A and B are shown apart, each in its own frame.
Chain A
Amino acid sequence: MILPIIILIVIVGVFLFIYQMISQNKIFKLNALASQKKTAKSKYEFMMDQTKMLKKECEEKERQLTTLRNNQEGIKTISLEDLDIEDIDENEKVSRYLIQEGKITMEQNEKVLQKMNILQMDYLGVCMTLGFINLDTAKKAIKINKIISRTIAF
């Protein structure tokens, strides 16, 4: 009488043990997979950060180079011939100013000119939308542009 009960208890014990082992194995494997995914993601994020950093560095150096070039070549002022160029639109003046100041690169300028038609915005608006310049720089560019326009008018 006692023997079957003992065997029954043993069977239940073995069953619980195996059940728990399977569950633990599942959790262990799922954790391993999650950590594998996390590693791949962190590596990707690290590479993204590095790319962003390098891009920033590259833009900074391009800006420095443009500034240096402009400093060496001298600031390009509007010549007498240019004085009656009222047909040169404000966008071009502003773009010239920003390139001379080294606020944007030639590549960025081209990008802005391409996007102007798509976004239906003026030059400075597109520059700000694309994040090439901030509001202060835009205001400064407008101010300079106005001064130049007034000079031309006189």
Chain B
Amino acid sequence: MLDSSTLYLIMAMTGFVSVAVVMIHQYNCSEVINRKHNEVENTCQQFAKKIELLEQGIVDLKVQIEELDEKLDTFQA
């Protein structure tokens, strides 16, 4: 059977190994999250630009439709 000092040594080593594993895991996870965060941010920015253009297009189209409606009303009257 192991004596107490050996057990304490094993305990200390287990503690160090655990801390190291936790630190590596934390580092990996944060890197994955950062990468994903950057990817999403870029995509969102691209979408935002496209949405802005589309909004402008929609406003133009609405104005065009209103003009056409007016013309149609004039013709139908």
Contacts and interface: CB of A to CB of B under 8 A. Distances in A.
A72 B74 CA distance: 12
B64 A69 contact: no
* Tier of interface size on chain B: 35 or more
A33 B36 contact: yes
Contacts, number: 103
Contacts of B75: 65, 68-69, 72
Interface residues of A, number: 40
B47 A41 contact: yes
Interface in A30-83: 30, 33-34, 36-37, 40-41, 43-44, 47-48, 50-51, 54-55, 57-58, 61-62, 64-65, 68-69, 72
B65 A43 contact: no
Interface string A1-35: 10011011001101100110011011001100110
Interface string B35-77: 0110010011001101100110110011011001101100110
Given A1-B4, A58-B64, A65-B68, A22 B29 contact: yes
Given A62-B68, A69-B75, A37 B44 contact: yes
Interface of A: 1, 4-5, 7-8, 11-12, 14-15, 18-19, 22-23, 25-26, 29-30, 33-34, 36-37, 40-41, 43-44, 47-48, 50-51, 54-55, 57-58, 61-62, 64-65, 68-69, 72
Given A33-B37, A40-B43, 5 more contacts: A5-B7, A54-B61, A55-B61, A58-B64, A65-B71
Interface of B: 4, 7-8, 10-11, 14-15, 18, 21-22, 25-26, 29, 32-33, 36-37, 40, 43-44, 47-48, 50-51, 54-55, 57-58, 61-62, 64-65, 68-69, 71-72, 75-76
